[in-house]
Amino acid sequence: MTPLNIPEWQSLVRHYSDLKFVSMREQFALDSNRFERFSIKSGDLLLDYSKNRITQETVDKLIQLAEAVEIQDWIERMFKGEAINHTEGRAVLHTALRNRSNTPVMVDGKDVMPMVNAVLDKMRNFCEQVHSGTWLGFSGKKITDIVNIGIGGSDLGPAMICDALEPYGIDGMGVHFVSNVDGTDLSTTLEKLNPETTLFVVASKTFTTQETITNAHSARNWFLKQGKQEDVAKHFVAVSTNADEVAKFGIDTANMFEIWDWVGGRYSLWSAIGLPIALYTGMDNFERLLDGGHQMDNHFRQQPLKENIPVIMGMLGIWYVNFFNSHTQAIVPYDHSLARFPSHMQQLDMESNGKFINRSGARINYKTGPVIWGTPGTNGQHAYFQLIHQGTQLIPVDFVLPVNSHYPECDHQSILLANGLAQAEALMKGKTAEEVRAELVKEGYEGKELEALLPHKVFPGNRPSNVLLFPKLTPEMLGQLVALYEHKVFVQGVVWNINSFDQWGVELGKQLAKAIVPELKDDAEISAHDSSTTHLIKLIRELRQ
Ligand SMILES: O=P(O)(O)OC[C@H]1O[C@H](O)[C@H](O)[C@@H](O)[C@@H]1O
């Protein structure tokens, strides 16, 4: 099935031709209710999507397309534990991890909720022991630092959440994330730490990931310079599906927190992969995060499509990627503590929807997932916003705006918020040649000088953005936000008819790296590579000290 043949898609193609030159500025002037018409609230979270290249007809047609691809059916199939990740034969149940209503969720005839709850209890118990000092390091000292060793989904999500929830951090507890196999990452982290008071969480769904296992071995060697072999159990715990590999590494499986194959790596922060979050901020805050995720799940499952935030955001993304031919999507949080939010979203979106094969295995002849990127505002404004305002590409932007800061004592928040709002306004409105001319005349320009400068100061405007506004970045709100983007990505995957839950595209590089590692040693035989790779291997051998 290609979506291009769906009548609702074709109707959007025609609608796009009618609409592509319509200006948002005019639309705002014509319709004083545009904000009310194109905004949705879910609890404390507001999506303002009025600054998009849409009319009511566009939204109606996008929703008709969502209906035509049976989005509501797909939503139910996911929540009910059907094996919709068909290339791996797995259910997709990150929603069960935050199913705070505790209703049964069946996988292969078995309710997974008792397992989910048992691991949550184990996490709570462990956190309480660490926080109260019942769990001590080998020399009898309290644990002061958690080092999470993991990569991809076993790193980005928990690292982003710990940064974002820094105001909720428990006094005297530090958290660190080591992901890169570049020894710099581990070494620069460990040089600040004391093995007597450091607890390592080795987080790997498969427990076979080269980078994580390499870092975990080196961390253990570092630990054993002071601790003894029998002390390892007090300083290393694991999060994994793979008890055999955990035991092989030397971690007592009693200190393993289980996850399951129906939790995708990039969707796993809600599982025991979130253990560093719970250790850093306390289990109550971790559960508040789950509550927020669950609220968004209920919204996604229950709200009509037109009032459904993930559906609307997902369909707007389709509108820009497939009709306006935009290649990227910026996510710009106006909250410094969300600095890693775009990176997590990058993995979530690009690993999910970066696919060129549809669910039936056929090659796709339309565009799928865009490049996701961004950094916190206001920094981005002084770097790449030039291109968003005046470049030749259409780049939709999501502005993520918490109204109140956790650091109100420094009165910066009004400036921060004003900048976020101003960027969205400027992108929408632009500045016409007439407006620029009037400004230049006022500034005393005239004649040739004025004419030469004028075109450079024009802003075309009509550039789309969403605003996500909420009172404060609490654990619940963060849970809502992350779940919102997860569901947005899912909606788009359904429309594109792809499996958003596998990631075969990461395998080839891993395979080839395994072959190259031994070849970097002097005198080792170099297998058949292309001449570029062979020469680079030889050169590395020569240059290596
Ligand atoms: O948790 P792990 O099994 O170590 O996997 C870590 C990461 O590596 C893989 O390459 C996948 O692309 C990611 O989705 C995953 O999160």
Q: What does 494-506 look like in DSSP terms, one character per residue?
A: HHHT--TT--GGG
CA 209 – ligand 1 centroid, Å:
7
CA 154 – ligand 1 centroid, Å:
7
| Helical (H) or strand (E) element with 545 | none
DSSP state of 181: S
Q: Which atom of ligand 1 is nearest to the CA of 510?
A: 10
Residue nearest to atom 7 of ligand 1 (CA): 152
Q: Which atom of ligand 1 is nearest to the CA of 154?
A: 1
508: left (phi over 0), alpha (psi -120 to 50) or beta: alpha
Supply the DSSP string of 38-101, one letter for each residue. Answer: TEEEETTEEEE--SSS--HHHHHHHHHHHHHTTHHHHHHHHHTT---BTTTTB---HHHHT-TT
- Rg (C-alpha) for the chain, rounded Å, is 25
Number of residues that this document lists for the chain:
545
Residue 424 structure tokens: 């969205």
DSSP state of 4: G
What's the pTM?
A: 0.97
Residue 164 structure tokens: 């974002």
CA distances from 155 to 184, 337, 459 (A): 17, 16, 40
Known catalytic residues are 351, 382, 510
Angle at 380 between CA 378 and CA 386, to 5 degrees: 120
Where does 77-190 show beta strands of DSSP type E? Answer: 106-107, 110-111, 145-149, 174-178
Q: What is the pLDDT of residue 210?
A: 95
Starting at the earlier edge strand, list the strands of the sheet with 174-178: 174-178, 145-149, 198-203, 236-240, 256-258
Q: Which atom of ligand 1 is nearest to the CA of 507?
A: 10
Q: Which atom of ligand 1 is nearest to the CA of 209?
A: 4
Contact 289, 281 (CB under 8 A): no
CA distance 50 to 428: 10
CA distance 293 to 95: 8
378: preceding bond cis by omega (within 30 degrees)? yes
Residue nearest to atom 4 of ligand 1 (CA): 204
CA 424 – ligand 1 centroid, Å:
35
| Structural domains of the chain ordered from first start | 3-69+303-429+464-502 (3.40.50.10490), 95-287 (3.40.50.10490), 506-544 (1.10.1390)
Q: Which atom of ligand 1 is nearest to the CA of 153?
A: 16
Angle at 274 between CA 270 and CA 277, to 5 degrees: 125
| DSSP-based helix, strand, coil % in the chain, nearest 5 | 55, 15, 30
CA 511 – ligand 1 centroid, Å:
14
Do the strands 110-111 and 106-107 form a parallel or antiparallel pair, or are they unpaired?
antiparallel
Contact 309, 45 (CB under 8 A): yes
Residue 524 structure tokens: 């080792």
Residue with tokens 């005349």: 441
Supply the DSSP string of 293-359, one letter for each residue. Answer: HHHHHHHHHHS-GGG-HHHHHHHHHHIIIIIS---EEEEEESSGGGTTHHHHHHIIIIIHH--SB-T
CA distance 177 to 187: 12
Q: What is the pLDDT of residue 419?
A: 98
Residue 431 structure tokens: 């500045």
444: left (phi over 0), alpha (psi -120 to 50) or beta: left
Long-range contacts of residues 248-251, Cβ cutoff 8 Å, at least 24 apart = 249/202, 249/207, 249/213, 249/216, 249/217, 250/220, 251/202
CA distances from 223 to 127, 253, 545 (A): 21, 19, 27
Residue 119 structure tokens: 């691991």
| Helical (H) or strand (E) element with 511 | helix 507-519
Give 10-residue mean pLDDT values along the chain (545 residues): 94 94 94 98 98 98 98 98 97 98 95 98 98 98 98 98 98 98 98 98 96 97 96 96 94 95 97 98 98 98 98 98 98 98 98 98 97 97 97 98 91 95 98 98 98 98 98 98 98 98 96 94 90 96 91
Contact 231, 197 (CB under 8 A): no
Contact 181, 210 (CB under 8 A): yes
Q: Which residues approach ligand 1 with their CB closer than 6 A?
A: 151-154, 204-206, 209, 212, 265-266, 351, 503, 506
Residue nearest to atom 8 of ligand 1 (CA): 152
Measured in whole angstroms, how far is the alpha carbon of residue 453 from the centre of its chain? Answer: 41
Residue nearest to atom 9 of ligand 1 (CA): 152
- Exposed / middle / buried, residue 91 (Cβ in 10 Å: 0-12, 13-18, 19+): buried
CA distance 67 to 84: 18
CA atoms within 13 A on the CB side of 278: 27
Residue nearest to atom 14 of ligand 1 (CA): 265
Residue 459 structure tokens: 């802003």
Supply the DSSP string of 193-229, one letter for each residue. Answer: --GGGEEEEEE-SSS--HHHHHHHHHHHHHHHTTS-G
